[in-house]
Structure 1
Amino acid sequence: MPVDLYNLGVSGLLTAQQQLSTTSQNIANVDTDGYTRQQVIQGTQNALWEGGNYYGTGVYAQEVRRIYDQFAYNESIYHQSRYSYSETLTGRLQGLDDIMSNVGGNMLDSISEFYDALNSVVDQPTDVGIRQVMLDKAEAMTGIFNSLNASLEAQFESVNTDIETIAGRMDEIGEQVAELNRQIITASGNGNGATPNDLLDRRDQLITELAEYTNVSTVEQASGAVTVIIGNGQTLVADNTAFGVSTIPGAPDVRDIEIVLTQGGNTIPLDGQNLGGQVAALFEYRDEELKLAMNELGLTAIAMSDAFNSQQAQGLDLNESFGNNLFTDINDTTLAQQRARVDTSNTGTSQLQVNITDVNSLTASDYYLQFDGSDYQLTDLDSGTTYNIGAPGAITMPDADGDGVSDIGFEVEDFVVGVPVNGDKWILTPTREFGGDIGVELSDPDQIAASSVFEVYESDTNVSPADVEIISVDPTDPNFATAMNGMDFTFIENPAGSGTIEYDILDPSGTSLIGGATLLGATPAQISYGGVTVEVTGNPIGQASTTVPAGPGTPEVYSVNYAFGPGNNSNAVAMTEFQTTKLVKDGSMTIEGSYQNVVTQIGVHTETAAILHETNTTTFTSATTTLLQAGGVNLDEEASNLLKYQQSYTAAARIVTVAKEITDTLLNSF
């Protein structure tokens, strides 16, 4: 025979045995995560020249190859990052939406109950028991503010913990991929080009897991190693070298922890929101959604506290004393200082505080403050607007209308005038924590200032369509004692028909307290004397003279008199108006409306994220299906292969048997 039948049969047996073994391996790993189906690639052995012809010499197994689609794999890790991002963001937002809606709903109910108790005080201002109920309802309301803020703070800390955990896992994956690169290079060399399939599967599985946390792309090297790139181009693994991933305290706010990459002793900050995957979702949730909720909650609490404290100061309690703060002072020194968060890298000694000056002008923004060597530069982190607010010791807030009040609702003050250094920076959070700081300051129900200090009494002779209302009372004014004796505000058009209104302020004897008539100007207009400020609306022209010849006419008279009395409820009535008066965001929202607005915003953001997640789920499922179709184990197919390779094995064994029979026949013939 020109060819050794034994070799032909044995080669077939060995190849079929390897095919059976590989198929069994596939079946055994059908449920193994990250396993890629393997296949024996067989080839024909070199032919033998004999008698003028080439005769085959059998078969051999060239390699055991992974059934692998690189394009499908790249698509799967791309969509894995997008899916993980939207899944994480949607889950977090749904939790936040539940907190804001459920706990926040209780808060809105509590605010309503507080106003109901306040209305009861209006009805019976002398009833101490009803006053106590009002304080109890105030305690319950502030308790819910505190509880909601604590829940948001816990969410903030939870996100930071998750970021730290993920950073640690990314670091571990980088080290493991680098080690697998080393093993793959070694195994490929030792195997004369054969691929170490199990090592490749383990590496792919690690990179797939990494894609859950961040955007990932890979570049395969000729050696078999891969370079792993994360985020927007930062190298995590190069050959068998991994660069460290860790977290550091934020700057300038240490609570805003950051992710950094360490390369050759250099620390490179990574933009969390642009890393993709779960990391981007966590940074976005923390820095946008959570801070929005905390800032808006704080703004609602500030508006509530400021409105009631200011009105308390305008009235008298049952002891005939000016009202003390009902709620925590929004400009308490400790709280004001905590609103300026110092960067730990600052080398200067300047210490700042943030005082609220106009609640209606406040937004829910945070601000970045930096010293440029001569002046402080203040940047609104929401709008991006930057203001130069002057030098240390001479800070001047933006005041476009020149009314002496900061346009952005707060002032920055050097509470310790130190020496800042060029590059020193701070984060200013005017509203962030007050939801957790608000509390009830009054403990004695007698101290609720339900009574007004003064009342305005319109003369029966007044005929003009005008109104005079007390805006504020300042008992520290040096002429306050004079005002307590009573004052008459008089108005008259002079000369008649000119439209020019003059006013005077008279004591009970008719003597001018301001030295004679003064031009009123356009209404509405504010007039002050003795700590009492009134606002005039309408056109108080007075009554024209009916005498011949014409006399000066009859002025409009509004008497301002001291009005304390246990049954006086005017100041409490003014407090009830806060429920419907738009006191927040340039007069566009009520206090409760401000909170309801952020609940709506969070709800819309949650719905938008859920829609995005549905889209990403579809594309991720499609990419995963394509990858599984390319490299996944199909039990039906493997069962069919088992039968085929079993038949090949049996046939090859038969060749060996035939060869033996032929050999025996030849030997027996001799």
Structure 2
Amino acid sequence: MSSLLNIGLTGLNAAQAQLLTTGHNITNAAVEGYHRQSVIQTTQTPYYAGVGFFGQGTKIAAVTRQYNAYLESQVLTSSTRLSELTRYEAHISQINNLLGDTTSGLSPALESFFQGVQEMAANPTSEAARQSLISTAEALVSRFQTLDARMSEVREGVESEITSTVAQINMYASAIAEMNQRITLAQVSGPTVAANDLLDQRGQLIAELNELIRVETVEEANGSISVFIGSGQGLVVGSTATTLAAVRDPNDPQRNVVALVSQSGVENILPEQLLTGGALGGLLAFRRETLDVAQNSLGLIAVGVAEAFNAQHSLGVDLDGVLGNDFFNSPTPQLKPAVTGATATITDYSVLTASDYLLTYDGTNYALRTTAGESIALTVDAGPPPSFSGGGLQITLPNGAADIPPHGLLIQPVRYAARDISVGISDPRKLAAGDPVGAALTVGTGNGTLSDVITGVRTLSVNGIDGNADGVADFTALGLSFDSATDTLSMSGGGMLYRFDSASQSWVAGGAYDPDVDSSGVLFRYLSDPADDPADPAAFAFEFTAKGSWSDTTEVSFAPTEAGVADSRNAVLLGALQTTKLMLSGSSGNATGTFQSVYAGMVTLVGNKTREVQVHMKAQEALLTQATDARDALSGVNLDEEAANLVRYQLAYQSSAKVMSVAQTLFDTILSIAR
């Protein structure tokens, strides 16, 4: 009877274990990260009784959780990528909406500004038109500053999020390390005796950590899990967690980078390209790929507008006959860290790009490259003081290599340009709408006018035009005459005359002009310094187009433009800057972009990237759903199934109890016989 009683008791215990596990599954069905548990039930070792083997009931072999490493890995991979894209999309949408707005974007302000230039060109002596131009310039500057301020706010938010995300990563790492220790102690009997609930809790911690940064895991023999990030840096090894820190970038103190802190406290900066996946990866990628490029592009346009407008404005004269000053206060490049006595100036804005530069010295050679790693041709002048030219910049360092930190000197030519640009002229009379060189027909041909023989008088350089240093063009009048015997134009008063040869596309010395062949127009340039390059004169120079039937009696005089005349030649050239390709010349030396096209390119880049991220995000959501469904089909709790199991195990419990009841009845029967 005792055997039958024991068999019933083992069944009772087994059914109770099944009921406990089923109840545990039901009550934890809504717990994130919980895996359905199952009781593994086997038979007891039977005993031999001569005629055969008789069973001795059942026993519980183990309580396992339904877990598949491959399916879990698929969920983690999709989850970390989706988290990265979600965080990226949340920030890039702000930039996309900011730049693409038809009212608050830069395009309307640029158009309004150049419309003001055109109005001044149409009415060069109008005080109202001149004041309107200054107002539209102020509005343009304000728009630059507003857009930059908004991007700076986004940048501050990103930097703050990087710091808080790193703190969360450290918290999860510590929790996983502690959980490793608890699991190791709980499974001291061996890996077959699994601490299922602790394993689920640790798995959920890893899943939540994986949403912050992509992790790789390796399970150790003692049941603990090592967690790695980046290119294999250990974040958790056994019960030890390594600390991450958000520290200041040694090249840019206003920028956070992620460092791995060793046990001795040394901070080893991790390349951010290796920190992919999760919220942190999304923040770093957004800052590197979109925010830096967008803010630098905005600054690049501000530099282009300021430099180009100032250069042309300085070639004109205002209503008082004074040579033009800078219309904009042009931004200057920033050096980080700041070096006392160092200067950085823009020498050619057309070759600038939306990049930051890094000047390095390896003990032998200097090198200049973008922060993305692209090499830039560098010219070094030993000085003193030493100076470095490349990428459209000239940097002067008082102490040369001693002023360059081991990690390099960061140069930001355009990062803060949109913030720092301002209008430098407040007096409408100071707008240089006219050209300093005036022309007059001193001796004519019949009833002809100046425009019959000369058009397009345009000053190319004003260096040396102000002989009295009073800000007024006071060069000696020049006379242009024609010799029919030699078919030659000549300039009296010194200097050199060059003719543009359309066949060779070059400048040829001399004033050859054939009225029978060239009457439709030939471009000439006058250089006050004969040694100058006609293609890029440094000293006082101007150009004009000779046309029509010149004769020996034709003579034109070039003299300083009188103050107060209705001259809009320079204003027309200022207006033409709107549609002239002046930027992004690259290595070819040929400019490929206008102000509007550079801005349109920036808007397109951000818009396309936004759309790309959104498309990938939707695809990743679908992949995560598929991976999660596949995992939950194995590991998830089905309440209907568990309810059925409750009934089944209840019946098993009752049946086992009935076996024990029968055993008891039989035992009582035997005892009654003895009585």
**Quick check: TM above 0.5?**
yes
What is the letter of the counterpart of residue 346 of structure 2?
I
CA contact (8 A) 1:492 1:541 kept: no
Matching of residues 265-276 of structure 1 within 5 Å = 265=264, 266-276=266-276
Shift of 1:577: 1.7
In the other structure, the counterpart of 1:635 is 639
Answering whether residue 435 of structure 2 is matched by residue 452 of structure 1, we say yes
Q: 2:336 aligns with which of 341, 359, 373?
A: 341
- Shift in alpha-carbon separation, 1:367–1:665, aligned structure 2, 3 A: same
Structure 1's 161 and 653: CA in aligned 2 closer, same or farther, altered over 3 A? same
Aligned residue in 1 for 2:326: 325
| TM-fit CA distance, 1:487 | 2.0
Instruction: Quote the offset at 1:12 in angstroms.
Output: 1.3
Q: Does 1:116 align with 2:115?
A: yes
Determine the structure 1 residue equivalent to 2:28. 29
Using structure 2 for the length normalisation, give the TM-score: 0.85
Contact 1:584 1:591 in 2 (8 A): yes
Matches within 5 A, 1:395-474: 395=386, 408-414=391-397, 419-420=402-403, 423=406, 425-457=408-440, 468-474=457-463
- Structure 1 residue 238: Cα displacement: 1.2
2:278 aligned with 1:295, yes or no?
A: no
CA distance in 2, matches of 1:153, 1:491: 62
Within 1, Cα distance between the matches of 2:421 and 2:642? 68
**Secondary structure of 2:185's match?**
helix
Query: CA–CA distance in 1 between the matches of 2:555 and 2:642?
Result: 103
Contact 1:245–1:261 (Cα < 8 Å) also in 2: yes
**Cα pair distance change 1:453/1:23, threshold 3 Å:** same
Q: Secondary structure at the match of 2:467?
A: coil
**What SS does the corresponding residue of 1:452 show, helix, strand or coil?**
coil
How far did 1:208 drift?
Answer: 1.0
Query: Of the candidates 601, 605, 608, which is equivalent to residue 601 of structure 1?
Result: 605
The alpha-carbon deviation at position 319 of structure 1 amounts to 4.2
CA distance in 2: counterparts of 1:645 and 1:424, whole angstroms:
69
Give yes or no for contact 2:170–2:244 (8 Å, CA) kept in 1: yes
Relative to structure 2, which stretch is displaced further, 587-596 or 234-243? 587-596
1:281-309 deviation line (CA, Å, top 9, x unaligned): 22221122111111110111112222332
Check whether the contact 2:257–2:269 (CA below 8 A) recurs between aligned residues.
yes
How far is the alpha carbon of 1:396 from its aligned partner?
Answer: 5.7
1:387–1:122 CA distance, 2 compared to 1 (3 A): closer
Instruction: Please tell me the root mean square deviation across aligned C-alpha atoms, in Å.
Output: 3.1
**Counterpart-to-counterpart distance in 2, 1:502 and 1:395:** 47
Using the TM superposition, give the Cα deviation of residue 382 of structure 1 relative to its aligned residue in structure 2, in angstroms. 5.0
- On the 8 A contact 1:114/1:137 being kept in 2, the answer is yes
User: Which of residues 528, 534, 539 is equivalent to 2:542?
Assistant: 534
Contact 1:20 1:645 in 2 (8 A): yes
Within the candidate set 445, 466, 478, 2:467 is matched to 478
**Equivalent position amino acid for 1:55 in 2:** F
Match of 1:372, as an amino acid? D
Q: Compare 140-149 and 369-378 and name the one that shifted more.
A: 369-378
Query: Does structure 2 conserve the Cα–Cα contact (< 8 Å) formed by 1:86 and 1:281?
Result: yes
- SS of corresponding position for 1:471: strand
Structure 2 match to 1:548: none
Say whether 1:663 aligns with 2:644. no
SS at match of 1:657: helix
Percent identity of equivalent pairs:
29
Deviates more, 1:649-658 or 1:559-568: 559-568
Secondary structure of 1:451 counterpart: coil
SS in 2 for 1:316: coil
Further displaced range: 127-136 or 628-637 = 127-136
> SS of the counterpart of 2:527?
strand
Per-residue Cα deviation, 1:293-337 (whole angstroms, up to 9, x for no partner): 11110111112222332333233334443333332233xxxx44x
Match of 1:85 in 2: 84
**Distance in 2 between the 1:24 and 1:433 partners?**
63
The amino acid across from 2:335 in the alignment is: A
Cα shift at 1:216: 1.6
Q: 2:384 aligns with which of 393, 416, 437?
A: 393
1:418/1:588 CA distance change after superposition, 3 Å: closer
- Summarize the Cα distance change of 1:491–1:588 in structure 2 as closer, same or farther, 3 Å threshold: farther
Deviation at 1:622, TM superposition (A): 1.8
Task: Read off the aligned partner of 2:90 and give its amino acid letter.
Answer: G
For residues 318 and 51 of structure 1, do their structure 2 counterparts lie closer, same or farther at Cα, with a shift above 3 Å needed?
A: same
Compared CA separation, residues 190 and 152, structure 1 to 2 (3 A): same
Q: Deviations over 1:177-207 (max 9, x none)?
A: 1111111010111689521111101111111
Distance of aligned partners of 1:68 and 1:598 in 2 relative to their CA distance in 1, 3 Å threshold:
same
Instruction: After TM superposition, give the deviation of residue 472 of structure 1 in Å.
Output: 3.3
Assess, with a 3 A threshold, how the Cα gap between structure 1 residues 542 and 143 changes in structure 2: closer, same or farther: same
Counterpart secondary structure, 2:414: coil
CA distance in 2, matches of 1:431, 1:87: 29
Give distance in 2, aligned partners of 1:571 and 1:592. Answer: 21
2:283 is aligned with 1:282:
yes
8 Å contact from structure 1 (residues 261, 268) kept in 2: yes
For each residue in 1:404-458, what CA deviation from the matched residue of structure 2 results, as whole angstroms up to 9, or x when unmatched? xx6x322112367784468362111111111111122223333333333333456
User: 1:51/1:305 Cα in 2 relative to 1: closer, same or farther (>3 Å)?
Assistant: same
For the 8 Å contact 2:385–2:400, the answer to whether it is kept is no
The alpha-carbon distance between structure 1 residues 217 and 383, as it changes in their structure 2 partners (threshold 3 A), is: closer
Aligned to 1:622: 626
Contact between 2:96 and 2:607, CA under 8 Å: does it hold in 1?
yes
1:353 matched to 2:343? The reply is: yes
Residue 174 of structure 1: aligned partner: 173
Q: How far apart, in 2, do the equivalents of 1:151 and 1:565 lie?
A: 43
AA at the equivalent of 2:299: G
Q: Could you list the per-position Cα deviations for residues 484-541 of structure 1 after superposition, in whole angstroms to 9, with x for gaps in the alignment?
A: 4532245769955xxxx6743x2xxxxx334xx7665743664333964213568x79
The aligned counterpart of 1:362 is 352
* Counterpart amino acid of residue 211 in structure 2: E
Q: Match for 1:259: what amino acid?
A: V
Q: What secondary structure sits across from 1:86 in the alignment?
A: helix
Tell me which of 599, 613, 616 is aligned to 1:612.
Answer: 616
Which stretch has the larger CA shift, 118-127 or 133-142?
118-127
Contact 1:303 1:359 in 2 (8 A): yes
Aligned to 1:653: 657
C-alpha displacement at 1:246, in angstroms?
1.2
Q: 1-side partners of 2:319 and 2:653: how far apart?
A: 106
Matches within 5 A, 1:137-148: 137-148=136-147
Residue 98 of structure 1: how far off its partner (Å): 1.1
Matched residue type, 1:446: R
SS in 2 for 1:4: helix
TM-score (norm. length: structure 1)? 0.85
Q: Please, which of 513, 519, 525 is the counterpart of residue 494 of structure 2? A: 513
**Unmatched segments (≥5 aa) in structure 1:** 344-348, 399-405, 507-511, 545-552
Displacement of 1:613 after TM fit? 2.5
Change (3 A) 1:568 1:477: closer
Aligned partners of 2:497 and 2:526 also within 8 Å: no
CA contact (8 A) 1:392 1:419 kept: no
Report the alpha carbon displacement of residue 597 of structure 1 after superposing the two structures with TM.
1.3
d(CA) in 2 for partners of 1:63 and 1:491?
112
C-alpha change, 1:572 and 1:6, in structure 2 (3 Å) is same
Q: Which amino acid aligns with 2:605?
A: Q
Count of residues in Structure 1 that have an aligned counterpart in Structure 2: 629
- From the superposition, tell whether residues 56 and 179 of structure 1 become closer, same or farther in structure 2 (CA, over 3 Å): same
Q: Indicate how the Cα distance of structure 1 residues 574 and 53 shifts in structure 2: closer, same or farther if over 3 A, else same.
A: same
Is the alpha carbon distance of 1:351 and 1:242 closer, same or farther for their aligned partners in structure 2, counting shifts above 3 Å?
farther
Letter in 2 for 1:385: S
Residue 397 of structure 1, CA deviation: 5.1
What is the DSSP-based 3-state SS (H/G/I as helix, E as strand, rest coil) of the residue aligned with 1:365?
coil
Give the partner amino acid of 1:625: D
Residue range with higher mean Cα deviation, 528-537 or 115-124: 528-537
- Cα distance in 1 for partners of 2:82, 2:10 equals 49
Structure 1: how far apart are the matches of 2:140 and 2:4?
Answer: 95
CA distance in 2, matches of 1:351, 1:49: 100
* Unmatched 5+ stretches in structure 2: 501-505, 508-522, 530-538, 586-590
Identify if the C-alpha distance between structure 1 residues 456 and 608 changes in structure 2 by more than 3 Å, giving closer, same or farther: farther
